[in-house]
Each structure stands twice: as structure tokens, then as C-alpha cells.
Amino acid sequence: MNGLIEAIGVSRTYDLGETRICALKEINLSIARGEFVAITGPSGSGKSTLLHLIGSIEQPTTGAILIDGENTGRMSQRALSRLRLHKIGFVFQHFYLLATLTAYENIELPMKEARLSRALRRDRVQELLVAVGLEDRGRHRPHQLSGGEQQRVAIARALANDPPTILADEPTGELDTRTGSAIIDLLTKINQEYGKTIVVVSHDLEIARRAKRVIELRDGAIVDVLY
């Protein structure tokens, strides 16, 4: 395997009292730069766990996750924080926007953490607001935005530091069909026009149809890969 993202013999177990739960079992997976991959499967199949491991939110019990050749299990917490800040953008089902901040300020946050200058932040936020179709909504707070608009802000925030990879966990889960379809269009655009690697966990069949590769999980194991 020689991809941007690699899972090598990855398993993840959890202890729940005296019961050991195996969420993932010996996963081997390689995702190339610029791919659009959908991870599907029934609830409890291990989809979100795999995404969390790829995003270094969690670490595997056994095996290794490599991001651009680096083994995340051998990285310090500081290095993992830098990895998440610069190389991975996250989009979740629940938008996790800060209610007291405007759309502009929510998008700006990762750039502040990366210590970009105010001028660079301003130009980048404006560019991203245009890219997600919200150039006239930057001063609005989350409660003044629709669900689809909030998810667009979350996607712009994920792109703030220009990471090569976007990880999305059920990004259309709280949206109606029409709005969800528009979000899928946006993710497809980000993949095709900006060359971002997109990995999406979803039950949404439209996402599976639009992805270049579909990985189906069941009971913690890969059971099918469709191209």
C-alpha cells in the first residue's frame, strides 16, 4: 500500500465493564490522494470508529494508521494536534459551530490557531465564503442560518487551513433531501476542483453513487469494495 491514508491491520476494541467490544477487525485500506471515498454499512458496523482513527481522534488498539507516510501511533500529542490542524479538515453531522460567533468568525478560528496574519485570514475567509455560496452571510450567527447554510459554514471551516484531506461523518444526516443533495454537490466540487481527498461516512445512497469508491463495513470488517 502506498496512499495518502493507510490503515494496516487495524483493530479497535473497547472495554465496557467486563465485556470487550471489537469495533474494527484487521482493517487494511489505502486511500489515494484526490480520491472521493464513501464508507457505508449498518449502524454499529464501525464506520465512525474508522473515520476517527483516520483523523487521529482515536488510536487503534493494534495495527497502524499512516497519514502521508507518518504513523500516527508514534506521534506526540503536539504533533497529532498539528496534523489535525494542517492536514485534516473535519465535517460532522452536528455542525458544532460556536453560537456566539458569526459565520466569518467560525471559519476564521482554525486560522487563528495556526497563527496566520489578520490580512491572510480575512482574504481566506472571504474566498471560502464565496466557495461555499455564503458570501452574503458572513455576519450571521448560526441561529440565523438554515441547517444547510450551517453545514456550508462547517465545510468552509474544515477547508480553512487548506488541508489535503476532508473527513465527513454523516454530513447530510440532519438535512432534508434537497439540502443534503446540495451539500453532496459541494463536497464533489471540493474534490474535483480543489483536488481534496474526501472520505465520507454515510447512510446516504446518493453519496455512495457519487463517490469514486465505496467501502462497505459490517461487524467491524470490510465486506465489499465497489468502484
Domain regions of the chain by residue span: 33-59+75-226
CA–CA separation, 227 and 221 (whole Å): 18
The pLDDT of residue 140? 98
The pLDDT of residue 227? 85
- pLDDT, one tens digit for every residue, the chain (227 residues): 567 999 999 999 999 888 999 999 999 999 999 999 999 999 999 999 999 999 999 999 999 999 999 999 999 999 999 999 999 999 999 999 999 999 999 999 999 999 999 999 999 999 999 999 999 999 999 999 999 999 999 999 999 999 999 999 999 999 999 999 999 999 999 999 999 999 999 988 889 899 999 999 999 999 999 98
CB neighbourhood size of 215 (10 A): 23
Amino acid at 23: A
The pLDDT of residue 13? 96
55-59: long-range contacts at Cβ-Cβ below 8 A with a sequence spacing of 24 or more?
Answer: 55/84, 55/88, 55/90, 55/167, 56/80, 56/83, 56/84, 56/88, 57/84, 58/12
The pLDDT of residue 3? 77
The pLDDT of residue 1? 56
CB 52 within 8 A of CB 58: yes
Using a 10 angstrom Cβ sphere, with 0-12 exposed, 13-18 middle and 19 or more buried, the burial of residue 125 is: buried
CATH topology of domain 33-59+75-226: Rossmann fold (3.40.50)
